[in-house]
Amino acid sequence: MKRRKFIIKSGAIVGLAVVAPSLFLESCAKGGASPSAPNVNFKIDLSSAQYQSLNTVGNYIYKNNVIVVNTTQGFIALSKICTHQGCTVAYNRNANDLQCPCHGAVYNDSGKVMGGPAPTPLKKYSVVKNGNILAIKG
């Protein structure tokens, strides 16, 4: 191989080694907008078979991109959309927090980021209980 070809090929390989990782390995901490939470206004009937599990502390349901949880402090409603990259969070009754299975973000039961790569808190919705009806708004 001639010297000129060697230098050109070596330069191409070094250039590819520098650029390729950025093409294939996208950073979790990339800039840009966080996934947005929806505005909602809906009701849940706790006496219906579909939602009766919410009568037990520690249980939760998803509805309209919202996670509704029965905690020891009462009902909470937060966006189910992780603010990092939009995965669905789940309630961990043992730790009393919400966790994202995709990249490890952790939120407290007020939606505040407690750990992981999430840039902003989960949107919190108001919950009003009237008899067996929960009204979720926000």
Stretch among 24-28, 75-79, 84-88 having the lowest mean pLDDT: 24-28
> How many Cα atoms sit within 13 Å of 77 on the Cβ side?
24
What's residue 3's pLDDT? 62
Both tokens assigned to 9: 């090929």
Contact present, 67 and 78 (Cβ < 8 Å)? yes
CA gap 18, 22 in Å, rounded: 8
8 or 119, greater pLDDT: 119
What's residue 73's pLDDT? 92
The CA dihedral of 98, 65, 112, 127, to the nearest 10 degrees, is -100
Section 32-54 average pLDDT:
88
Section 69-96 average pLDDT:
95
Please check the confidence at residue 8 and state whether its pLDDT lies above 50: yes
DSSP 52-118: GGGGSTT-EEEETTEEEEEETTEEEEEESB-TTT-PBPEEETTTTEEE-TTT--EEETTS-EEESS-
The pTM of this model reads 0.75
Taking every pair of C-alpha atoms in the chain, what is the biggest distance, in angstroms? 86
Give the domain ranges of the chain.
41-137
Query: What class, spelled out in words, does domain 41-137 have in CATH?
Result: mainly beta
